[in-house]
A and B are shown apart, each in its own frame.
Chain A
Amino acid sequence: MIIDNSEVILSVRDLTAEIDGNQILKGLTLEIKAGEIHAIMGPNGSGKSTFSKILAGHPAYTVTGGEVIFKGKNLLELEPEERAREGVFLAFQYPVEIPGVSNTDFLRASCNARRKHHGLPELDAFDFEDLIQEKLQIVQMDPSFLSRSVNQGFSGGEKKRNEILQMAILEPKLGILDETDSGLDIDALKIVANGVNQLSNAENAMLVITHYQRLLNYIVPDFIHVMEGGRILTSGTKELALELEARGYDWVKEELAVGV
């Protein structure tokens, strides 16, 4: 939802970044306010996923220029765990399997790290159990997943649901979904999208990164940005997604080439 004069959650200006000497982001500018859902679309290799990882603080990428202000703070100065505690959440495209670490222990450690950061009392096992039972409903997850190792042996859909469950527990100010829809069947896609919609409110913002328009039938964005070559080429409202789906990404490139 677009709210007049709402808080700016994320402000990215002329962001450039590289990995192993290859420049991936070439001057990205974007502003996201509380309450809004933004979608970034673009072909493979356009830098969408890189952008999401840089926001989360992935150590493999080097920011070479520009700025990222998150709730008034310079995000680029913060360690990945500090960003998470401040309210940045990245739902991974490929969630990592961690054998031997139980999902519950992981979720509780994560939840308490954030609570501690905000001066809240840490939750004991019993209080956490109550919290998690409530949050499980959001992604219709079976409680048996909690005692299993993090993502180990989970199907693609279960991994993505587990990501949304983590988001539900951490209650971020900015939820970034990196190709959360890739490879999901329709049922799983609906559950994941429904979870995101339940978590979206006037206080937070969502940034949905996707290759396919299909997801945007279920998570309806307020703004759509088209990325290509490490930059946002054009932005628009949700109708832009339909046009992209019908005419392909090349159309945007051509339009823009004409414009330039």
Chain B
Amino acid sequence: MVSETFIKPSAADKRVAKLQELLAQVSGSRGDSRIAPTVAESQSRARAILSELAIPSTKDEEWRFTDLSSLLDINFQLAGPAAVDVFALADSELDETANSRLVFVNGIYVPELSSVAGLPAGVQVGNLSAGNFPEIASYLAQQQGGQEVFTALNTAGLADAAVVWVPANTIIETPIHLVFLTAAGATPVWSQPRALVVAQRGSACTIIEEYAAARGTWCAQEASNCYLTNAVTEIWLAENAQVKHDRIQREATNAFHISKTAVSQAKDSRYTCTAVTSGAKLSRHNLEIFQAGEGTETVLNGLAGISNSQVADAHTAVILNHPHGIVRQLHKCIADGNAHAVFNGKIFVAKAAQLTDASQLNRNLLLSRKAKVDTKPQLEIIADNVKCSHGATVSQLEPQEMFYLQSRGLDPATSRNLLIDGFAGEILAQLSIPALGAKLSRCIACRTDN
């Protein structure tokens, strides 16, 4: 008992100290003075909150399955501007977004790699510190849930952001690609990418948000330098707006990736998220949807394809507070090696959210004896006239399916890959650019190749 009382406060102190150390690093960098007034209030609020928080432990209900202890011993330094060249983009380059792309390296905007020449007039896409976004104060750092520790940390250090501003009734066909790269050095670095998407009334756009290592190739299995990404993306859909959001997390194999996507949906809006996770040693994505009017539609597709000792944690929450909401969620995990996948999916149906139609399914494919999944589908329903379903499955490759494919002349490796591909394909087919789905498909095949 003596040793326990000794160790516990020490571990807790370490968590507090780590957070304060990270906070101190970003408190020095005030960023561009032009953005300071609009976010100053949010920043000081975030700093005040953080003074009472710590890096979460597995005793926190929200972090039960994902242990951040390994973060505590790494001396992360805030990443500065990196020398970048045309090769920095590496495999993130997509023909479809050559002229509708914003690139940030270490959280810092890189105009040389960015181009928005392909977007229609009136659409404002750029970095916050350089652009002119007069109404931004109503949106930036204004989403609910901002008091969560990592979100607050990002806000506290907010220096720049990728901003997509779509005026009313404007339909953008070309996908907008937001690329957040980290150029890791010899010592561990960290950065805090930030994005804001505002889709005004009746507008429509497609956002591809991607996280990777600078010069990182798809399927990179080699050991890489350690870094931490703490990203926050806020998305606002006004009445009848539509946003299709593809989110690709393929950080380097030694990276930590912690992120938040907060979405607010006004009446009759439609939000579709397809989130694919293949990278990072440890990743956590919090996806939060707030229904701000009736008749909203929310489609959440998720896929994690992980191996070795990767941990991929997806926490999603849909908070419904108005009638006639529709939620369709399918989250899939493929885990090989010692990998550990976590899914926690909450759907809150408040009293006012009558006639909600919600379905949630989590399907997991375990490819090895040591792979592990923790799944927690969670529906909380207070309204009395709703249609809601949820479920979770965990399976291995079916011997019957393997035999069927082999009996048609396919060798075991091809059969296995075809089945994994099929499992992943249901989600990858939802991505807005087929070439991106094909790249990710190869990436997952490579990760799970025995």
Nearest residue, chain B, Cβ from A116: B409
Tell me which residues across on chain B come within 8 A of A95, comparing CB atoms. 404
Known contacts A57-B406, A80-B407, A84-B409; A113 and B414 CB within 8 A of each other: yes
Tell me which residues across on chain A come within 8 A of B399, comparing CB atoms. 59-60
Known contacts A96-B401, A109-B414; A81 and B409 CB within 8 A of each other: yes
Residue with the greatest number of chain A CB neighbours at <10 A, chosen from B398, B409, B422, B423: B409
User: Counting CB contacts under 8 A, is B410 at the interface?
Assistant: yes
Minimum CB–CB distance for A136 against chain B, Å? 17
Interface members, chain A 224-246 (any B CB < 8 Å): none
Q: Please, how many angstroms separate the alpha-carbon atoms of A117 and B411 in the complex?
A: 12
Specify which of B411, B412, B422, B424 is in contact with A98 (CB 8 Å cutoff). B422
Specify which of B407, B412, B421 is in contact with A90 (CB 8 Å cutoff). B407
A85 engages B409 (CB within 8 Å): yes
Interface members, chain B 301-320 (any A CB < 8 Å): none
Q: Mark contacts of A186-220 with chain B using CB atoms, 8 A cut-off: 1 yes-contact digit, 0 otherwise.
A: 00000000000000000000000000000000000
Q: Please, how many angstroms separate the alpha-carbon atoms of A99 and B330 in the complex?
A: 14
User: Counting CB contacts under 8 A, is B426 at the interface?
Assistant: yes
Tell me which residues across on chain B come within 8 A of A110, comparing CB atoms. 405, 408-410
Q: Please, how many angstroms separate the alpha-carbon atoms of A40 and B281 in the complex?
A: 57
Tell me which residues across on chain A come within 8 A of B406, comparing CB atoms. 57, 79-81, 84
20 A-B pairs with C-beta separation under 8 A: A56-B407, A57-B407, A60-B399, A80-B407, A81-B407, A81-B411, A84-B407, A96-B398, A96-B401, A98-B418, A98-B419, A99-B426, A100-B422, A100-B424, A101-B419, A109-B414, A110-B405, A110-B408, A110-B410, A149-B422
Counting from the closest, the 10 A-B pairs by CB-CB distance are A100-B422, A101-B422, A113-B409, A84-B409, A80-B406, A110-B408, A96-B404, A100-B425, A81-B406, A85-B409
Known contacts A59-B399, A96-B400; A101 and B421 CB within 8 A of each other: yes
B407 engages A98 (CB within 8 Å): no
Q: A56-B403, A57-B406, A98-B405 are in contact. List 9 more A-B contacts (CB 8 A).
A: A79-B411, A81-B412, A84-B408, A92-B407, A98-B419, A99-B422, A100-B421, A100-B424, A110-B408
Tell me which residues across on chain B come within 8 A of A58, comparing CB atoms. 403
Q: Please, how many angstroms separate the alpha-carbon atoms of A149 and B401 in the complex?
A: 13
User: Counting CB contacts under 8 A, is A145 at the interface?
Assistant: no
Tell me which residues across on chain B come within 8 A of A80, comparing CB atoms. 403, 406-407
A106 engages B418 (CB within 8 Å): yes
Specify which of B400, B409, B425 is in contact with A101 (CB 8 Å cutoff). B425
User: Counting CB contacts under 8 A, is A38 at the interface?
Assistant: no
Tell me which residues across on chain A come within 8 A of B410, comparing CB atoms. 81, 109-110, 113
User: Counting CB contacts under 8 A, is A104 at the interface?
Assistant: no
User: Counting CB contacts under 8 A, is A170 at the interface?
Assistant: yes
Tell me which residues across on chain B come within 8 A of A105, comparing CB atoms. 418
Interface members, chain A 82-125 (any B CB < 8 Å): 83-85, 89-90, 92, 95-96, 98-101, 105-106, 109-110, 113-114, 117
Nearest residue, chain A, Cβ from B426: A100
Main secondary structure of the interface of B (DSSP, over half): helix
Count how many chain A residues have C-beta atoms less than 8 Å from C-beta atoms of the other chain: 30
User: Counting CB contacts under 8 A, is A50 at the interface?
Assistant: no
B401 engages A98 (CB within 8 Å): yes
Q: Mark contacts of A52-88 with chain B using CB atoms, 8 A cut-off: 1 yes-contact digit, 0 otherwise.
A: 0000111110000000000000000001110111000
Minimum CB–CB distance for B448 against chain A, Å? 14
Nearest residue, chain B, Cβ from A112: B409
Minimum CB–CB distance for A227 against chain B, Å? 22
Nearest residue, chain A, Cβ from B428: A100
Nearest residue, chain A, Cβ from B427: A100
B423 engages A100 (CB within 8 Å): yes
User: Counting CB contacts under 8 A, is A166 at the interface?
Assistant: yes
Tell me which residues across on chain B come within 8 A of A81, comparing CB atoms. 406-412, 415
Q: Please, how many angstroms separate the alpha-carbon atoms of A57 and B426 in the complex?
A: 30
Specify which of B409, B412, B426 is in contact with A117 (CB 8 Å cutoff). B409
Q: Please, how many angstroms separate the alpha-carbon atoms of A166 and B405 in the complex?
A: 11
B409 engages A59 (CB within 8 Å): no
B407 engages A106 (CB within 8 Å): no
Nearest residue, chain A, Cβ from B411: A81
Nearest residue, chain A, Cβ from B425: A100
Tell me which residues across on chain B come within 8 A of A56, comparing CB atoms. 403, 407
Tell me which residues across on chain A come within 8 A of B401, comparing CB atoms. 96, 98
Tell me which residues across on chain B come within 8 A of A85, comparing CB atoms. 409
Interface members, chain B 377-435 (any A CB < 8 Å): 398-401, 403-412, 414-415, 418-419, 421-426
